[in-house]
Amino acid sequence: MKTVNFYFSTKLTFDDYIHDHSFALRIIPPETENQHILSCSLNISPYISTKQTIDAFGNNVTSGYIKDDHRFLDFEIKGYDEIDSEKHRTDFMPCYLYQSEYTTPDKDIIKFYLQNKDKCNSSNIAERTAFFSDLLSEIIEYKKDVTNTKTTASEAFALKQGVCQDFSHILLSILRLDRIPCRYIAGLAFCDGETHSWIEYWTGEHWEGFDPANNCPVNDDYLIISQGRDFRDCAIDRGIMFGRYTKQLQLVRSVLS
């Protein structure tokens, strides 16, 4: 068990005024069996009233609407919590066994899976997950700026390059081919300066975390912010706005200490 401080901030700046701006943030870490939130505060600027709901995947959703003209949206969250990766979550949903938008495999992923699935002679789910992650770490190179938030598992697999999000999607795709239920996690980790992504697989009884980008199981240094079938269910901020802006600049900073 470990007590950690977390801090996360995003500054969205637009080059012209925007209005009728609706947003949904998935940024408040959920209270779960293995993370106990001791304190947490969210600040949003410009100041507006927001509402909290919990979505289908168990994420805290903060939604808001800014009617009048504005040129920025900043939000930051800070707090501290206890993480205990020895404890396990059990919030299962059957849909995690099925491929989702980002993970649907193409022929190449299927071929890769079929070529390798029997090379792991264990039927133990943890071992199979580690085995597939090992394979991926050999053939996929961690590289920034070659993929983006819209890149699917198949696209990243074709590139053989990507960031944590892409590693997660490819591993999810393969585990689901192997009939192992698994889900995407967005969160903060010590080893990463921005937000991080990893996966959880279902052992049959509970969830276990695994970090494919670092090819290791997760420990007390990982704070979960949101979870879902893939990135789309977990996006930390999503928004729809109107105006004549042509560019938006996003600055993200995160600290886990």
Q: Which parts of this chain interact with another protein (CB under 8 A)?
A: 20, 22-24, 49-51, 53, 55-57, 61, 63, 65, 67, 93-95, 97-98, 229, 232-233, 238-240
Nearer to another protein, 23 or 131 (CB): 23
When the beta carbons of 68 and 108 are compared against another protein, the nearer one is 68
Minimum CB separation of residue 105 from another protein in Å reads: 14
Closer to another protein by Cβ: residue 107 or 144: 107
Cβ burial of 104 (10 Å; 0-12, 13-18, 19+) is: middle
Q: Quick one: which of 176, 196, 34 has its CA closest to 109?
A: 176
**Pairwise CA distance, residues 60 & 75, whole Å:** 15
The CB-of-103 to another protein minimum distance in angstroms stands at: 13
- Per-residue HEC secondary structure of 120-184 comes to CCCCCHHHHHHHHHHHHHHHCEECCCCCCCCCCHHHHHHHCEECHHHHHHHHHHHHHHCCCCEEE
From CA 200, how far away is CA 34, in angstroms rounded? Answer: 13
Residue (51 or 144) nearer to another protein, CB: 51
Q: How far is CA 212 from the centre of its chain?
A: 12
Minimum CB distance to another protein, residue 160 (Å): 27
Nearer Cβ to another protein, position 206 or 232? 232
Least Å distance between CB 240 and another protein? 4
**Helix (H/G/I), strand (E/B), else coil: 219:** coil
Taking the C-alpha atoms of residue 210 and residue 198, their distance in angstroms, rounded to an integer, is 6
Cα-based distances in Å from 45 to 61, 70, 240, 244: 17, 10, 17, 21
C-beta closer to another protein: residue 144 or 179: 179
> Could you tell me the smallest distance in angstroms from the CB atom of residue 251 to another protein?
22
Comparing CB distances to another protein, the nearer of 114 and 240 is: 240
The CA-atom distances, in angstroms, between 201 and each of 72, 91, 96, 208, 254 are 38, 12, 9, 5, 26
> CB 63 → another protein: shortest distance, Å?
5
Rounded to the nearest whole angstrom, what is the least distance from the CB of residue 221 to another protein in the complex?
A: 29
